[in-house]
Structures are given as structure tokens and as C-alpha cells.
Amino acid sequence: MLPDAPSSPAVAGSAAAHPWHSGVVRTTTGPAILRVAAALWIVAGLGYLVTEAVVAKHLPGYSYSANYISDLGRPHHSPLAAWMNGAFIAQGVAFALAGALVVTAARPGPGIVAFLGLAVIYGAGSTAVGLFPSGGTAGSALVHVGGATAAILAGNLAVLAAGVVLLSRRRFRGGVASVALGVAGLFSGGLLLCSSVPSTRVPFGDGAWERGAIYAIIGWQLLAGVAALAIRRQAYSADSGSAPTARP
């Protein structure tokens, strides 16, 4: 959920000795759980972006602005379609699993359940996109479009929910960043929907707006992963009495 690391381990009281008591995570095992979640988010997010770039390079004439991301996973059209579909599935599973781990470690409160539910819906939608690639039968296409829609909507709502939770806990930097990314993603998704309406003109191509909606989610998970690792480093520093920059 893009947790904010405590500003300093030197804060007076028990929160200084154990940052998880300051409202970030709820047990002494929390930082270790966050580390696993961070790894999932970072590896899946970077893996998705790298895979997309490689697959697009091997598809002649492909345009990031004009073409849908799903075109990269269309069998018999994209030479590396299996790689792109695998990236859809891996991203969905990793996002949902990491979200569940963060919720397990985080201090319970309003919005936590909503975040987890939306993260799971996003994961299911992204997985459906990979399992039912673009260009299939009518039934497969319906599942594909439904999965993509669910992923874009639920993913950005999950980012918004995380922002609301963080703001309610006075984690302003993470909260504002989450809300901004969620709003940007939903705005891009809205323009993507508008572009499909006949006689409606929007600037740039469908691919640009689809990427705006998806990249907002991936950008958030990368930031969330870095923030989770920062909490892990702070926890180590507080326990060892070393400087915050000490290696975990």
C-alpha cells in the first residue's frame, strides 16, 4: 500500500526502537513480510515493462501510442505472444499476492479490506487477459475484454484505496502519491473508453491512454515496493542502533 518509512529511528519512545509500532506495520515480523511483498511488486513491475518492450520490438510496425498492449499477446500475430501473455499473468498474480502480504503485515483499519479486494480483482483480470489472449473466439474475446476492464478499473481503485488509507494514517507523501496515480489512471481509462465511442475524438491513440491507465498501477507498485524496503531498512537500523542507511 505504499507505506511511508518512519522519518528517523531516533524518534523518542518505543516507536523509535520498533518502527512497526508507529502505525506502519503491526508485528515484529511485519518488515520481513513487507520485504517479500516489495520483491514481488518490483520484480513483477519491471519484468512486465521489460517484456513489453522486447515483445514490441519484435512486432514490426507496432506503436505504443496507436496499438493496444493486448496486441502484443495475440497468437499468430505477435512472434513473442506467449511471453507477453506470461507477463500479464505474472503481473496479476504478483500484484494480488503482494497486496495480501502487505495487508497481513499492516495495522488493520478502514480501507484495508477494500484495498485487498480490489487488488485481487485486478490480479484476476490481468490473469484473464493472459489466459484468453486477444484475437480468440467470441467467448474468449469477451473474457479478455472483461478481464482488461476489471484490471484497469480495480487496479486504479486499489491505488486510490491505498492512498485513502495512508492519508487517514497521516502518511501524507505516500497518500498523495497514491491518490494522484489512481486519479491519473482512471482519467486515462476514461479517455480510452471515450475513444471507442463513434464520432468521439480524443488526443493521441488508444494505446497511449491504455498505457496511461496500466502504467499508473505499475508505477505505484514500484514506488510501493521501494517504500516497503525503506521500512525494512529503518527497522533494521532501529534494532541495531546503526544509521538509517545501514545495509539490512
pLDDT digits (tens, 9 = 90+) for 34-46: 899 999 999 999 9
Q: Within a domain: residue 172? A: yes
Q: Within a domain: residue 7? A: no
Q: Within a domain: residue 246? A: no
What's the pLDDT score for residue 204?
83
Q: Within a domain: residue 70? A: yes
**What is the domain range of residue 223?**
14-240
Q: Whole-angstrom Cα distance, residue 34 to residue 40? A: 10
pLDDT digits (tens, 9 = 90+) for 156-187: 999 999 999 989 888 888 899 999 999 999 99
What are the residues facing 106 on neighbouring strands? 25
Report the domain count for the chain.
1
Q: Within a domain: residue 6? A: no
- How far is the CA of 197 from the CAs of 131, 190, 200, 241, in angstroms? 27, 11, 6, 60
* pLDDT reading at 235 higher than 50: no
Q: Which residues contact 198 (CB under 8 A, 6 or more apart)?
A: none
- How far is the CA of 170 from the CAs of 24, 164, 222, in angstroms? 11, 10, 21
Main-chain dihedrals φ then ψ at residue 25, nearest 5 degrees: -130, 165
pTM of this structure: 0.83
